[in-house]
């Protein structure tokens, strides 16, 4: 309950929500640099049914840094949402980051 109350208070204060004023920058701030997604097709029936997850994620991961205009070596963490893969696709997601040229120091 305390967590919900804290979140609700943040929305009421209008100090750190939806483009309002924010606090001072910090070296440990989380920054979302971009997003991309794979094409939508019919699950296990569409034209990508035989395409490996790594092959689909590689251009997505390349597109994100292209959008942001930064070097891959500056990306510290990648978050990938995966609906249909066992283990949340951790192995295939990691392989895709290597195929896309991210360094081993980037966590997934």
Q: Dump pLDDT digits (tens) for 38-79.
A: 877 776 787 877 888 888 889 999 999 998 899 999 998 988
Instruction: State the chain's maximal CA–CA distance in angstroms.
Output: 50
Residue 71 lies in a domain: yes
What span, in angstroms and rounded, lies between the C-alpha atoms of 96 and 11?
Answer: 37
- Looking up tokens 């283990």, which residue turns up? 87
Residue 14 lies in a domain: no
- Looking up tokens 């395409």, which residue turns up? 51
Residue 15 lies in a domain: no
- Looking up tokens 């990508």, which residue turns up? 48
Residue 104 lies in a domain: no
Say yes or no to pLDDT of 81 above 90.
no
% pLDDT > 90, the chain: 22
Please say whether the beta carbons of 64 and 33 come within 8 A. Answer: yes
Number of domains composing the chain: 1
Say yes or no to pLDDT of 2 above 80.
no
Position 14 confidence tier, pLDDT thresholds 50, 70, 90: low
Residue 93 lies in a domain: yes
What span, in angstroms and rounded, lies between the C-alpha atoms of 21 and 11?
Answer: 12
- 71 is in which domain, residue-wise? 24-99
């Amino acid at each position: 309950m305390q967590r919900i109350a804290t979140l609700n208070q943040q929305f009421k204060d209008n100090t750190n929500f939806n483009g309002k004023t924010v606090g001072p920058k910090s070296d440990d701030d989380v920054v979302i640099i971009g997003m991309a997604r794979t094409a939508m097709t019919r699950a296990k029936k569409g034209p990508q049914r035989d395409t490996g997850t790594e092959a689909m994620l590689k251009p997505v991961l390349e597109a994100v840094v292209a959008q942001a205009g930064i070097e891959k070596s500056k990306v510290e963490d990648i978050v990938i949402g995966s609906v249909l893969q066992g283990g949340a696709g951790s192995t295939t997601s990691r392989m895709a980051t290597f195929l896309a040229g991210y360094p081993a120091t980037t966590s997934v």
